[in-house]
Amino acid sequence: MLHRLKDTDESRVETKGSSRLLRRRAAYQRSAQYAYVQTKLQLLGIIGLFGFPAYWVVWTQFYPQPYENLTLRLLGAAAAIPFIIERWLPPRLKALMPTYGFVFCTLALPGFFTFMSLMNGANMVWQTSLIASFLYLALILDALYFILSVVAGMGFGLGVYLLTSSLPVPDAFLDAWPIYLFALSAGGIFNYAEALNRAEDRIRAARAVGGTIAHEMRTPLLGIRLDAGGGGERLDGLLRDDPALTAAMRAEGEALAAAFRRIESHSLYAETALNLMLANLAGPRPAEIFEDLRMADLVAAALDRFPFRGLERAKVSVDVRQDFAVRAAPILLTQVIHNLLRNALRAVAEARHGEISIRLERGRLESRLIVHDTGLGIPAHRLRDLFQPFTTMWAGSKGVGLGLSFCKKAVEDMGGRITVTSRSGTFTQFTIRFPALPD
């Protein structure tokens, strides 16, 4: 009974730990998205601070409108101040800024302008102002958040109008719904296209930086390979030509020579892998680098080369009884396995529980390589973008988020496809499918 209670308590502690890690990861993702729009929101804060009261003067003194509300405008101006003074805010308040930014944009742009348009009978001035608020929003938020903000803001503005006004919704407002829909779709498409362009720019930048790194790394790798090869050959010669060596000395010398050969092999492998991974950013792989392989042999070689630390290897189980043939680039596929295994080990380590399994499944039409872990899991809303470039799942990670996008592109270049299923706090499974080949 005591053992069961202890196991239950430990399970609760692990579950709470996993929940905290998932919340921290989600907060990191919000912060990463907010970092992109932070400067834009600071500028919007300045515009809001001065624009809200300034246009009260415009619409009351120069071009009088049927309805104005100074209190509402002063509240909007005050709400913009946190973006201007954000750098001086305490860390606890800074952590809330991503959520605050979305709420402010929703209420201060489509929310405020919808309400004011309705209160002014949906006249031309305020209909145009409402469309202009869409433009501001499209320049700040990405496509999904832009659409959510417009819909939520207009709904909020309409709800406030219905609660505070006894007048019906103006016909001009209802008649303009095709224009609103057009502006909404145009803003979403514009934002999506801009996001694609940003991703392409980052890939080009990564390719340029990667090319420089590859150029700088090739020289030391070549030097290591040549020195290791020369050292191994010299040691082999000494072991062969010196009869005075004792058996113990000869055994040590042979072990050292074997180490030289491994260093030479690893440096050659590293140079080739570096070249292929950088080339993977450029385009499809040439067919001549593909080979006919046995997947079980490739998995075994990948595990032998993986830099396990401590007791990590004991957490990985392998089932290759359903071995199958595959035509692929061995170094690229090895890097794919390494990436998936590295993510799985980290998920298990951060969750502080779980195991990893790698298994093969041979099918009539397609065969599968499956990497499964029972670690931290991935929230459902993150799965959609998981294979996109510059997407990382790890809070505080210093990586650039190219690992899984590399895996997807490499697998597809080899004629396969990769998918993921996951449940937060429970498991993650990556499945790589290849067309079945005759044994």
Would you say residue 9 lies in a domain? no
Would you say residue 94 lies in a domain? yes
The overall average pLDDT reported for the chain is 83
What are the CA-CA distances from residue 236 to residues 133, 267, 342 (Å)? Answer: 77, 20, 36
pLDDT at res. 378: 86
Question: Roughly how many angstroms between the first and final C-alpha of the chain, as a whole number?
Answer: 53
Inter-residue contact 170 to 122 (CB < 8 Å) = yes
Would you say residue 183 lies in a domain? no
The DSSP code for 364 is S
Query: Residue 174 pLDDT > 60, yes or no?
Result: yes
Would you say residue 202 lies in a domain? no
Would you say residue 357 lies in a domain? yes
Query: How many whole angstroms separate alpha carbon 53 and alpha carbon 80?
Result: 12
User: What number is the average pLDDT over the span 233-258?
Assistant: 79
Would you say residue 3 lies in a domain? no
- What is the arrangement of strands in the sheet containing 427-435, beginning at the earlier edge strand? 316-319, 356-361, 366-373, 427-435, 417-423
For residue 290, what pLDDT band results from cuts at 50, 70 and 90?
A: confident
The residue ranking higher by pLDDT, 163 or 194, is 163
Query: How many whole angstroms separate alpha carbon 341 and alpha carbon 67?
Result: 63
| End residue of a domain, out of 248, 279, 310 | 279
For residue 8, what pLDDT band results from cuts at 50, 70 and 90?
A: very low
pLDDT at res. 286: 53
Same-domain check for residues 306 and 385: yes
Which residues have C-beta within 8 Å of that of residue 364, sequence separation ≥ 6? 436
Domain count, the chain: 3
Which residues have C-beta within 8 Å of that of residue 356, sequence separation ≥ 6? 315, 316, 317, 341, 344, 345, 348, 371, 372, 373, 374, 375
Same-domain check for residues 310 and 413: yes
Same-domain check for residues 156 and 265: no
Same-domain check for residues 268 and 295: no
Inter-residue contact 347 to 377 (CB < 8 Å) = yes
User: Burial, 246: exposed, middle or buried (Cβ in 10 Å; 0-12, 13-18, 19+)?
Assistant: exposed
pLDDT at res. 263: 82
Question: Residue 268 carries which side chain, given as an amino acid letter?
Answer: L
Same-domain check for residues 76 and 132: yes
Query: Residue 1 pLDDT > 70, yes or no?
Result: no
Region of poorest pLDDT, from 36-40, 46-50, 164-168: 36-40
| End residue of a domain, out of 228, 250, 279 | 279
Same-domain check for residues 221 and 91: no
Same-domain check for residues 253 and 332: no
DSSP code string of 254-312: HHHHHHHHHHHHHHHHHHHHHHHHHHTTTSPPPGGG-EEEEHHHHHHHHHHHS---TTG
Of the candidates 324, 352, 298, the residue with the CA atom closest to the CA atom of residue 433: 324
pLDDT tens-digit series, residues 187-214? 888 877 877 777 777 767 766 666 666 6
Question: Residue 215 carries which side chain, given as an amino acid letter?
Answer: H
| End residue of a domain, out of 279, 296, 331 | 279
For residue 25, what pLDDT band results from cuts at 50, 70 and 90?
A: low
Percent of the chain surpassing pLDDT 90:
46
Would you say residue 333 lies in a domain? yes
Region of poorest pLDDT, from 100-114, 171-185, 255-269, 406-420: 255-269
For residue 271, what pLDDT band results from cuts at 50, 70 and 90?
A: low
User: What number is the average pLDDT over the span 89-114?
Assistant: 93
Q: Which domain holds residue 363?
A: 287-435
Which residues have C-beta within 8 Å of that of residue 33, sequence separation ≥ 6? 98, 142
Query: Residue 228 pLDDT > 60, yes or no?
Result: yes
Same-domain check for residues 132 and 234: no
Numbers of helices and strands, H then E, in the chain? 14, 7
Same-domain check for residues 390 and 321: yes
**What CATH number is attached to the domain comprising 388?**
3.30.565.10
pLDDT at res. 197: 79
Record the tokens describing residue 187, joined without a space: 């803003």
CB atoms within 10 A of CB 367: 22
Same-domain check for residues 293 and 252: no
The residue ranking higher by pLDDT, 358 or 393, is 358
Would you say residue 75 lies in a domain? yes
Same-domain check for residues 426 and 328: yes
pLDDT at res. 400: 53
Same-domain check for residues 149 and 220: no
Query: Residue 285 pLDDT > 70, yes or no?
Result: no
